[in-house]
A = this chain, B = another copy of it.
Amino acid sequence: MNKIGIVTSGGDAPGMNAAIRAITRVACSKGVMVLGFERGWDGVITNTFTELTPRNVGGILHLGGTILRTSRSPNFRKHEGVKKAAKVLEHNQVDGLITIGGDGSMRGALELCKVSGTKVVGIPATIDNDVYGTEESIGFDTAVNTAIGEIDKIRDTANALERIFVVEVMGRKRGFLALTIGLTVGAEVILVPEVPYTIEDVVQTLETNRNKGKRSGIIVAAEGIGDTYKILKQIEQAAGMETRMTIMGYSQRGGSPTARSRLLANLFAEKAVELLINNQGKCMVGLENGEVTCTDLKTVCNNEKMLNLDLLKLAKTLAT
């Protein structure tokens, strides 16, 4: 293993830069050269990269986003694009590639493995935390903390005005963010795509709370549950309570990574380089049972990570 490449693809996540820095410094400490491809898979296809050195990755550990930029590359979704990428890697004598991203990136990595001799190791980095094979992805903890910081502020006004607030958090298909955020802010109602709900249930909960003396409330909803604004209007009408809306949006993606996102980035990076140096590939590093592990990319791509419904139940008990 003389030369490895790094790609950040898909949506960005806080801690990607920490991972880039850690990969570079660990690899260089073992005499391995590092290339950083720009703008996700597009940079591989178009052969656009910079050499990364311990010095030029200095000062990025705490920055959100990714210095390599990222993109959702339509070209790479076609077989031609994947073959082109394989050729570019071969041409540059890149023996190993580390792809940092979410499940889309892992599927891309698996496709690449099929046509390329380059060993590929994935590092899960997505605020959605929906990648199979790891309990936690880089960036998830940061996104959760950003959201709870904001929702704690909304709680101030909810209490002062005695109103209901709906907060839409990210999560088009999965409720990992919504569940953890809802549990840790003490949301009165948590709505996730995995669990069906009715407006009646929601209104019932709010009314029960009102009878108990809780005159304000926070509803945390994943964007994937449908048109949140419409739901808010329905709740407003059914419950006869004024409600207010916040769409957290992309502020959840950015910001300086938390300690935990940085730590995962460091540990995953170390493991990924180590795997490549041992000539292993077609796998993704992850956190399982508190240990840094390695899972076959096929297993990662063919399985769906399940939401912990016990946590949802606990959240309900705690919001009584």
Decide if A65 touches B156 in the complex (CB within 8 Å).
yes
**Of B28, B251, B260, which one neighbours A150 at CB under 8 angstroms?**
B251
From residue A157, how far is it (CB to closest CB) to chain B in Å?
4
Decide if B156 touches A64 in the complex (CB within 8 Å).
yes
Cβ-based interface call for A99 (8 A): no
Q: Mark A182-205, 1 if CB is under 8 A from B, else 0.
A: 011110000000000000000000
Decide if A25 touches B320 in the complex (CB within 8 Å).
yes
**Of B39, B245, B258, B287, which one neighbours A249 at CB under 8 angstroms?**
B245
A70→B161 CA distance, assembly (Å): 6
Decide if A250 touches B165 in the complex (CB within 8 Å).
yes
Decide if A153 touches B255 in the complex (CB within 8 Å).
yes
Decide if B22 touches A318 in the complex (CB within 8 Å).
yes
Q: Which residues of B contact A165 (CB under 8 A)?
A: 249-250
Cβ-based interface call for A135 (8 A): yes
Cβ-based interface call for A55 (8 A): yes
Cβ-based interface call for A144 (8 A): yes
A39→B161 CA distance, assembly (Å): 8
Residues of A80-112 whose CB lies within 8 A of B: none
Decide if B59 touches A212 in the complex (CB within 8 Å).
no
Decide if B260 touches A141 in the complex (CB within 8 Å).
yes
Q: Which residues of B contact A144 (CB under 8 A)?
A: 259
Decide if A247 touches B244 in the complex (CB within 8 Å).
no
The count of identical subunits is 4
Cβ-based interface call for A118 (8 A): no
Decide if A141 touches B259 in the complex (CB within 8 Å).
yes
Residues of A31-55 whose CB lies within 8 A of B: 39, 54-55
Cβ-based interface call for A146 (8 A): yes
A23→B167 CA distance, assembly (Å): 26
From residue A43, how far is it (CB to closest CB) to chain B in Å?
13
A286→B66 CA distance, assembly (Å): 35
Given contacts A288-B290, A317-B26, are A162 and B259 in contact (CB under 8 A)?
no
Decide if B254 touches A153 in the complex (CB within 8 Å).
yes
Given contacts A186-B61, A266-B314, A318-B266, are A255 and B66 in contact (CB under 8 A)?
no
Given A152-B254, A152-B256, 10 extra CB contacts under 8 A: A12-B156, A25-B319, A25-B320, A145-B258, A149-B256, A153-B255, A154-B253, A155-B254, A247-B249, A270-B317
17 contacts between A and B (CB under 8 A): A25-B318, A25-B319, A26-B314, A29-B317, A59-B155, A59-B159, A62-B152, A135-B290, A145-B145, A153-B251, A165-B250, A183-B266, A244-B249, A245-B247, A258-B258, A270-B317, A289-B289
